[in-house]
Chain A
Amino acid sequence: MRILTLAGRRLAASIPTLVLILIGVFVLLQFAPGDTVDALMAQMGGGDAETAKQLRQYYGLDVSAWAQLGNYLWRLVRLDLGFSAIYGKPVATVIAERLPATILLMTASLSLAFFFGLVFGVIAARGVNRWPDTLISTLGLVFYAMPTFWFGLMAIVVFSIYLQWLPAGGFEDITVGLTGWRRTLDIARHLVLPTLTLGLFYMAIYLRIMRGSMLEVLTLDFVRTARAKGMDETRVVVRHVLRNALLPMVTLIGLQAGTMLGGSVVVESVFSLPGLGRLAYESVIQRDLNTLLGIVFVSALLVITVNFIVDLLYARLDPRITTGS
């Protein structure tokens, strides 16, 4: 039960953070040159001053910035994210449409990064300073150093054009109208390359953290006790070292949830995936404040939920949290 109070308190503490972000972004975007009407007219390729004035009224841009902020926060309290200028629909529906792609991409990349980061980290730690360690560490660094969009575009050239194995982009193949199981398979095929592109970068980070954490735990006293009990090295690692080494890895997930959504902006534009990342980019370009704040609000919720889950996971792993040290 204590975990819930602990995690609950953390949740409550994140409310002020959320409000801080929203106001910060809102004030920031007031300074941007041009507003959503200018962006609309840029897209329309024309429009006279009269229509511009009407549009400004229609989007509620004719009142002072503070009044706009006031309306926004008042609506937010009632969980109404306002109206999206780009799509002429409530922001909530626009985000709901694009959420699945982002959630799928993020969970896939995060699990790929975590799982392979863990496995390679253990292998590297076990064979420290020998060839498996150097090979894995350098490979990890190469993926870490490679710009994600560059890897993405090269992957498209190799895998979808040259080898024709995987689709070059998009979320699913709608011309054929698949349903049920075959549709999920089709979406999976579409997500292979984007997940690789986004996931490999984070795998390199998890790999290094796991290697360092394994080496650290191997020097602790209870590992020596385990060996003194006559345990062979593999059992020592599996029964005793692994679980302790996992703790920093789990905390990292919480920290990285935010940055991952940032990373997906580029990946989604390279693979033309309809996710929150690209929507955020478009709403900045189109000066669509409501959508941008809606995305910031939803991604903040996403990060807070991920942190909440991470807290629960951490408490399950480490009894010292729940029973109070």
Chain B
Amino acid sequence: MSAILTLDAVTVSLPKNADRPHAMSEVSLSLQANEILCVVGESGSGKSMTANAVMRLLPPGVAIDGGRILFEGRDLAGLSEPEMRKVRGAGIAMIFQEPMTALNPLITIGDQIGEMFQLHTDLGKAQIRDKVQALLEEVRIPDPVAAAKAYPHELSGGQRQRAMIAMALALDPRVLIADEPTTALDVTTQAQILELIRDLQKRKGTAVLFITHDFGVVAEIADRVAVMSQGRVVEQGTAEAILGNPQHAYTKQLIAAVPPLKAPPPRELASEPILTIEHVSKTYRTGGFLGRGQRVTHAVRDVSLVLPRGATLGIVGESGSGKSTLARCLVRLIDPESGAIRIGGTDIASLSKSELRAETRHIQMVFQDPFASLNPRRKAGDAVAQGLIVHGTPRADARARARELFALVGLDPAATDRYPHEFSGGQRQRIGLARALALEPRVLVADEPVSALDVSVQAQVLKLLADLRQRLGLSIVFITHDLRVAAQVCDLVAVMKNGEVVEAGPIGQVFGDPQHEYTRALLASIPGRAFGLRETASRQASETP
């Protein structure tokens, strides 16, 4: 079958002050009709740049300065702007990653989709309205009539992505480019969207160029795969070939870094608990005027859990399940209305502000966003030493301790004088960890510590965490939405939905033989399940107990 879209040695240069000369160097890809080609790579690999290059939507200062992009016999790289505009939307359509911001907040969904027809066809208003209705039904959006009149903020993330897909497929484009369409979605919604894309691609025979960093998604949906790194295509081939036995060292390393779904054999746990959570609940009351018309959301509903000493309790669930709120209740960033949180006998939920200040050293937290968790205007070393100084350690000793902690988390001790913006994402998470460990807490609460990191960096941080747990006998409460990561890290797991714990127990048991149907649905919607399970055998051998 002839290729619909071919990239022939495409090179894209970056402005001179960027970190490397070329965003893409000699990238050659071909996309056949009725096929899904997954382009996979870590952030900064140039995969998104490839998509933008095809659409000629490059940011200012960045330009195609080599190679050809052939589509329907024409070289898109050389097309004039008006010509290119005819191709965009009609010939090649595109959907994006952030459903929240990809739609204009002030215009209804129906109008934004209708605009595609106004641009490229001369259909009348009524005809456009019918076409929009048909499209919304095709992407299986609930209550399409209401959805057409709704504004973007009235729809959920998944519904908005469906609207984006409807908009892209409005004029039956020959090629659909999807730039990480499901990364920002919950795993259950992600599964539905992937399934929708798969189904539409089959029925319409469109060629899909799917950009992602998640090998699970690749395993789930890809026909052919291209792996990119530093702007180059390091390996190309069918999905089975690339996932089955990767040739290029970089591909092997990437696949190895994906945590398998199968949990390692359970460790024996200490019996006496270090942290007990008894009937904790938290509700938010917003808006309303003197009690009338208030909107009440039960973030955490009567949760009771126990964390044995030295163990790691995982709390998993989708966004809005209350897992973050619970985590913040543990460190009293949020004050729960009822229930007790006992660490070594003292219930920190009932402490006053001043009493709490002494007790918080026993429970510390590591945060999710590496770029927001460190004060940009404070040296990295000071951030770590700050906790100690507050609790009375003299400044010099605190600084020395900070240097030791830097070494402990695998950072160069001399880096304590540098500012946060001089570190990578992974390094910043290590600093966050050092800060948490500075006060030698009995319990470490980690709220999605690795979700914002690339998969290779993720693997290193998880390895560090496992190593520290071993050496310091840490007890950890680990919050994540990524079940693979949970499977690798946690001894026990609690699945939360709408503020309640629906199931809890040893991870092998919960993941192997899930009782609650929500847990089953969660596990079922993990993309590339089979791929995850097959890999456990090789992983075990290399890990030293």
A contact set with B: CB distance below 8 Å: 5, 9, 220-222, 224-232, 239-240, 243-244, 317-320, 323-325
A320 to B106, CA, bound (A): 8
Chain B residues with Cβ under 8 A from A222's Cβ?
101-105
What 1/0 flags go to B67-96 for Cβ under 8 Å of A? 000000000000000100111111001101
Other-chain contact of A318, B55, B94, B106, B289 (Cβ < 8 Å): B106
A317 to B287, CA, bound (A): 22
CB pair A226–B104 under 8 Å, yes or no, is: yes
Q: Which residues of A contact B98 (CB under 8 A)?
A: 221
Contact A325 B119 (CB under 8 A): no
Q: Give CA–CA (A60, B482) in the complex, Å.
A: 77
A220→B152 CA distance, assembly (Å): 15
Nearest CB in chain B: distance from A46 CB, A: 60
Which B residues lie within 8 Å of A225 (CB)? Answer: 94, 96, 102-104, 164, 167
CB <8 Å contact, B104 and A244: yes
Task: Give complex CA distance A318, B69 in Å.
Answer: 40
Q: Which of B85, B154, B164, B289 contacts A231 (CB 8 A)?
A: B85
A220 in contact with B101 (CB, 8 Å): yes
Inter-chain CA distance A228–B90, complex, in Å, is 10
* Cross-chain contact B104 with A230 (CB below 8 angstroms): no
Given contacts A221-B98, A224-B96, A319-B151, contact A229 B104 (CB under 8 A): no
Q: Which residues from chain B contact A229 at a C-beta distance below 8 Å?
A: 88-89, 115-116, 119, 167
Residue B248, interface by CB 8 Å: no
B120 in contact (CB, < 8 A): yes
Q: Give the shortest distance, in Å, between A192 (CB) and chain B (any CB).
A: 36
Q: With the chains together, A317 CA to B115 CA distance in Å?
A: 19
Question: Measured between C-beta atoms, what is the minimum distance from A1 to chain B in Å?
Answer: 12
Write out the residue numbers on chain B whose beta carbons fall within 8 Å of the beta carbon of A244: 104-106
Chain A residues with CB under 8 A of B115: 229, 231, 239
Closest to A323 in B: B154
| 5 intermolecular pairs with C-beta atoms under 8 Å apart | A224-B102, A226-B104, A229-B88, A229-B89, A231-B115
Most interface-central of B55, B103, B105, B153 (chain A CB within 10 A): B105
Q: A319 to B108: give the CA distance in the assembly, Å.
A: 9
Give bound CA distance, A240 to B167, whole Å.
Answer: 16
The docked-state distance in angstroms from the alpha carbon of A56 to that of B102 is 70
CB–CB B96/A240 < 8 A: no
Check B57 for interface membership: any CB of A closer than 8 A: yes
Q: Separation in Å of the B350 CB from the closest CB of chain A?
A: 35
Query: In the bound complex, how far is the Cα of B287 from the Cα of A228, in angstroms?
Result: 38
Mask: chain B, 136-176; 1 = CB below 8 Å from A; 0 = not: 00000000000000010110000000001001000000000
List residues of chain A with CB within 8 A of the CB of B107: 239-240, 243
Closest residue of chain A to B87 (Cβ to Cβ) is A230
Q: Which of A221, A228, A240 contacts B101 (CB 8 A)?
A: A221
**B106 and A230 within 8 A (CB):** no
Contact with A along B100-140 (1 / 0, CB 8 A): 01111111000000011001100000000000000000000
Among A222, A228, A318, max chain B CB count under 10 A is at A228
Nearest Cβ on chain B to A108's Cβ, whole angstroms: 29
A325-B55 contact given A229-B115, A240-B104, A244-B105, CB 8 Å threshold:
no
Complex Cα–Cα for A319 and B105 (A): 8
Q: Chain B: which residue is nearest A325 at the CB level?
A: B153
Contacts of A9 in B (CB 8 A): 289
Bound complex: CA A60 to CA B532 (Å): 90
The residue in chain A whose Cβ has the minimal distance to the Cβ of B167 is: A229
A15 to chain B, nearest CB (A): 16
A221 and B102 contact, CB distance less than 8 A: yes
**How far, in angstroms, from A23 to B115 measured CA to CA in the complex?**
56
Contact A230 B85 (CB under 8 A): yes
- Distance, CA A323 to CA B96, complexed state (A): 26
Closest to B289 in A: A9
User: A5 — nearest CB in chain B belongs to which residue?
Assistant: B289
Q: A222-B105, A229-B115, A324-B287 are in contact. List 17 more A-B contacts (CB 8 A).
A: A9-B289, A221-B101, A222-B104, A225-B94, A227-B57, A227-B88, A228-B55, A229-B167, A230-B87, A230-B88, A230-B120, A232-B85, A243-B106, A243-B107, A244-B104, A244-B105, A320-B105
Pair B119/A231 contact, Cβ less than 8 Å: yes
Listed from nearest, the 10 A-B pairs whose CB atoms lie closest are A230-B89, A230-B88, A221-B101, A229-B89, A228-B94, A222-B104, A319-B151, A230-B85, A221-B102, A225-B102
Bound Cα distance A67, B321 (Å) = 61
Least Cβ–Cβ distance between B330 and chain A, in angstroms: 29
Q: Find chain B residues with CB under 8 A from A228 CB.
A: 55, 57, 88-89, 93-94, 96
Please, which residue of chain A has its CB at the minimum distance from the CB of B51? A228
- Cα A222 to Cα B112 in complex, Å, equals 10
Name the CB-closest residue of B to A220: B101
Task: Kindly identify which residue among B55, B94, B103, B106 contacts A317, using a CB–CB cutoff of 8 Å.
Answer: B106
Query: Within the assembled complex, what's the spacing in Å between the Cα atoms of A71 and B164?
Result: 65
Name the distance in Å between B102's Cβ and chain A's nearest Cβ. 5
Using CB atoms, name the residue of chain B closest to A8: B289
CB pair A320 B89 closer than 8 Å: no
A221 to B104, CA, bound (A): 9
**CB distance A221 to B106 under 8 Å?**
no
Given contacts A228-B93, A239-B115, contact A319 B103 (CB under 8 A): no
Q: Which of B106, B120, B287 is A319 in contact with, Cβ under 8 Å? A: B106
Nearest Cβ on chain A to B308's Cβ, whole angstroms: 42
Q: How far is the CB of A130 from chain B (nearest CB, A)?
A: 13
Contact digits for B281-303, partner A, Cβ 8 Å, 1 yes 0 no? 00000010100000000000000
Q: Are the CB atoms of A230 and B86 closer together than 8 Å?
A: yes
Contacts of A325 in B (CB 8 A): 153
